[in-house]
């Protein structure tokens, strides 16, 4: 194998693992923000559990990875030739867009950034033929729209159920703080589900890269060492990201009660696990946000702030095309050959370093650290309950 | 070639799973309360958590729970039945979660 192809493959794997790491880093809060906020778990324990369960989850299923490595982009004899340079360009697009939205505090989805980057790069590099739009529509775009709605609806029903099953009209203790024990398990399930969906995306990209240089036959499953390194990268990211959350949590978290948190987390975990099983590559952040909003609406006296909800929705819609444009630009440059790839790498690493340094200069607030999931709770206003007023007196 | 059935499957299976888990857990909590064992779970110590109870508030919640337990109209046998019901609910909840994971992991049932 020529030296420059080896170089590109090594770069792709390194970048993909870095993406996996940032994904875990970014998403710890999704699983663990509510149990920490309701006091169900101590932060150190919560973060440790999240990291371990992400690791375990990554080993449970490879359906989503197969969607990416064998579905969306046509490779092999009857398809187009996907070069590792294109995958590299796609990853650069995804990472740059991800870092940018993280810095600006825009709600986005690392998963959609990844798909956007890859699709943009493939379109520029290999033309319209490169993308199987049927698979793209049925396994990525439609799940992206439907999954948060599904999770929201289920969380709404589950919250209603949890509250009505434990409601007491005689103002005696209702025992709802008992849901804190349940939350320990439900949030752990979310972390597990996160591993089954998000770690798979990186596995899919690495597998796609290996197929593109004939280190693996098209249609083969994910190699075991790929599963291991991806699982480790996401678990490490989860753990490291958690420490930042511990330091900065406390501002901007919405009022989540144990019963509501339990219902929301169960709904998130169930939706993600069912989707992973069918190979839908969805955004775990969006599903969790949908659940938090749905469960907020399930409580008495709640109303939606449509403006906040709309802002969140627009951020989601923008991610795919925006990352696609960055990916396409990176692919144009990568077409120049080895030098193009090196320029891409330099620009990508430069952007990451710049954004990292910039973010350290800024005060870290909840807009760029805690999670869009917690922020999405702000889309629902809940009138204070009469019982809690009595306690306050 | 969009497989709409798959979305229905996700919706239905996630809905059934969530309703079973949350439903059994909630009824378990209710039966615990009925059996006079009102759970009082104080939040883990964490200064930034929004649900922070002071030791005095926790003591008062425990007192209230104990008072409700004393006034419980059920006989000792009925309480035991309620308690057994609560534990069965929690067990069913755990079984549902484990069964869900069993279904998802192909290695556990030999499928591909």
Give yes or no for A276 touching B (CB within 8 A): yes
Q: Measure CA A151 to chain center.
A: 15
Looking up tokens 């693996």, which residue turns up? A216
Both tokens of B69, joined, read 């337990």
Largest CA distance in chain B: 63
Tell which of A72, A164, A173 to mutate to test the B interface (max B CBs under 10 Å): A173
Both tokens of A28, joined, read 């710890």
Residue-averaged pLDDT of chain A = 76
When pLDDT is cut at 50, 70 and 90, the band that residue A271 belongs to is very high
When pLDDT is cut at 50, 70 and 90, the band that residue A389 belongs to is very low
Assess whether pLDDT exceeds 90 at residue A153: yes
Out of B13, B50, B68, closest to residue A173 by CB: B68
Q: Identify the CA nearest to B24 among candidates A152, A268, A165.
A: A165
User: Per the CB < 8 Å rule, is B30 touching A271?
Assistant: no
- Can you list the alpha helix ranges (DSSP code H) found in A142-178? 142-166
User: Per the CB < 8 Å rule, is B50 touching A256?
Assistant: yes
Both tokens of A31, joined, read 């699983």
Chain B residues whose CB is inside 8 A of the A268 CB are none
User: Per the CB < 8 Å rule, is A274 touching B9?
Assistant: yes
When pLDDT is cut at 50, 70 and 90, the band that residue A261 belongs to is confident
Out of A134, A266, A278, closest to residue B10 by CB: A278
Chain B residues whose CB is inside 8 A of the A161 CB are 19, 22-23, 26
Out of B1, B44, B105, closest to residue A42 by CB: B44
Instruction: Tell me the three state secondary structure of residue A334.
Output: helix
When pLDDT is cut at 50, 70 and 90, the band that residue A75 belongs to is low
Chain B residues whose CB is inside 8 A of the A290 CB are none
Cα angle value A214/A215/A220 (rounded, 5°): 90
Instruction: Tell me the three state secondary structure of residue A386.
Output: helix
CB A167 within 8 A of CB A174: yes
When pLDDT is cut at 50, 70 and 90, the band that residue B52 belongs to is low
Å from B77 to nearest chain A CA? 21
CB A147 within 8 A of CB A354: no
When pLDDT is cut at 50, 70 and 90, the band that residue A150 belongs to is very high
- Alpha-carbon torsion, ordered A186, A302, A171, A37, to 10 deg: 40
> By mean pLDDT, which of A39-43, A222-226, A273-277 is the weakest?
A39-43
User: What's the rounded Cα separation, in Å, for the pair A118 and A207?
Assistant: 14
Q: Which residue has the higher pLDDT, A308 or B85?
A: B85
Out of A37, A138, A175, closest to residue B49 by CB: A37
Give yes or no for B52 touching A (CB within 8 A): yes
Bridge partners for A131 per DSSP: A73
Q: Please, how many CA atoms are within 13 Å of residue A377, restricted to the half-sphere of its CB? A: 25
Both tokens of A353, joined, read 């370093």
Å from A38 to nearest chain B CA? 5
Out of A38, A174, A257, closest to residue B49 by CB: A38
Looking at residues B4-20, what average pLDDT do you find?
Answer: 88
| DSSP 8-state class, residue A278 | T
Terminal-to-terminal C-alpha distance of chain B: 23
Q: Identify the CA nearest to B33 among candidates A179, A391, A393.
A: A179
Both tokens of A364, joined, read 């870290």
The residues in A 36-65 lying below 8 A from B, measured between CB atoms, are 36-43, 45, 60-61
- What's the whole-model pTM score? 0.81
Query: Nearest chain A Cα to B21, which residue?
Result: A266
What pLDDT is recorded for position A156? 92
Bridge partners for B56 per DSSP: none
> By mean pLDDT, which of A95-109, A118-132, A347-361, A373-387 is the weakest?
A373-387
Work out the burial of residue A51: count CB atoms within 10 Å of its CB; fewer than 13 is exposed, 13-18 middle, 19 or more buried.
Answer: buried
Assess whether pLDDT exceeds 50 at residue A251: no
When pLDDT is cut at 50, 70 and 90, the band that residue A391 belongs to is very low
Q: How far is CA A65 from CA A236, A249, B1, B108, in A?
A: 20, 33, 21, 19
Q: Measure CA A155 to chain center.
A: 19
Work out the burial of residue A128: count CB atoms within 10 Å of its CB; fewer than 13 is exposed, 13-18 middle, 19 or more buried.
Answer: exposed
Å from A6 to nearest chain B CA? 32
């Amino acid at each position: 194998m020529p030296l420059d192809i080896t170089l590109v493959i090594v770069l792709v794997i390194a970048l993909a693992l870095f993406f996996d790491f940032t994904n875990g880093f970014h998403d710890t809060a999704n699983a663990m923000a509510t149990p920490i906020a309701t006091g169900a778990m101590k932060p150190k324990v919560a973060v440790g559990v999240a990291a371990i369960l992400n690791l375990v989850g990554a080993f449970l299923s490879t359906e989503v990875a197969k969607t990416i490595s064998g579905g969306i982009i046509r490779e092999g004899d009857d398809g187009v030739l996907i070069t590792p340079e294109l995958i590299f360009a796609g990853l650069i697009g995804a990472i740059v867009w991800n870092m940018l939205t993280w810095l600006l505090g825009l709600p986005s989805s690392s998963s959609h950034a990844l798909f956007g980057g890859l699709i943009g790069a493939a379109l520029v590099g290999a033309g319209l033929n490169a993308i199987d739009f049927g698979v793209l529509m049925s396994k990525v775009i439609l799940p992206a729209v439907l999954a948060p709605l599904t999770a929201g609806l289920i969380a709404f029903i589950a919250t209603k159920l949890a509250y009505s099953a434990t409601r007491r009209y005689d103002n005696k203790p209702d025992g709802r703080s008992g849901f804190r024990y349940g939350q320990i398990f439900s949030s752990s399930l979310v972390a597990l589900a996160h591993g089954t969906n998000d770690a798979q995306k990186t596995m899919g990209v690495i597998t796609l890269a290996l197929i593109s240089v004939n280190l693996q036959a098209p249609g083969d499953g994910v190699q075991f060492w790929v599963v291991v390194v991806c699982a480790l990268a996401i678990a490490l990211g989860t753990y490291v990201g958690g420490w930042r959350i511990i330091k900065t949590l406390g501002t901007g978290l919405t009022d989540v009660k144990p019963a509501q948190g339990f219902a929301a987390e169960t709904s998130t975990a169930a939706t993600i696990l069912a989707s992973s099983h069918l190979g839908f590559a969805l955004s775990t952040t969006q599903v969790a946000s949908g659940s938090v909003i749905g469960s907020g609406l399930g409580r008495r006296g709640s109303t939606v702030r449509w403006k906040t909800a709309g802002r969140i929705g627009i951020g989601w819609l923008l991610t795919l095309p925006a990352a696609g444009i960055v990916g396409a630009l990176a692919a144009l440059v990568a077409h120049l050959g080895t030098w193009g790839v090196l320029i891409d790498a330099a620009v990508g690493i430069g952007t990451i370093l710049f954004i990292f340094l910039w973010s350290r200069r800024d005060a870290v607030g909840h807009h760029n650290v805690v999670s869009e999931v917690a922020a999405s709770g702000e889309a629902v206003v809940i009138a204070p309950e009469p019982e809690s007023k009595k306690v306050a007196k | 070639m969009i497989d709409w059935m798959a979305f229905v499957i996700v919706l239905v299976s996630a809905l059934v799973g969530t309703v079973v888990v949350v439903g059994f857990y909630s009824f378990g909590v209710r039966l615990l309360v009925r059996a006079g064992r009102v759970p009082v779970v104080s939040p883990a110590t964490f200064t930034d958590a929004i649900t922070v109870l002071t030791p005095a508030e926790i003591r008062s919640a425990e007192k209230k729970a104990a008072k409700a337990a004393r006034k419980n109209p059920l006989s000792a046998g009925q309480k035991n039945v309620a308690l057994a019901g609560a534990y069965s609910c929690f067990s069913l909840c755990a079984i549902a979660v484990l069964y869900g994971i069993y279904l998802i992991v192909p290695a556990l049932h030999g499928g591909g």
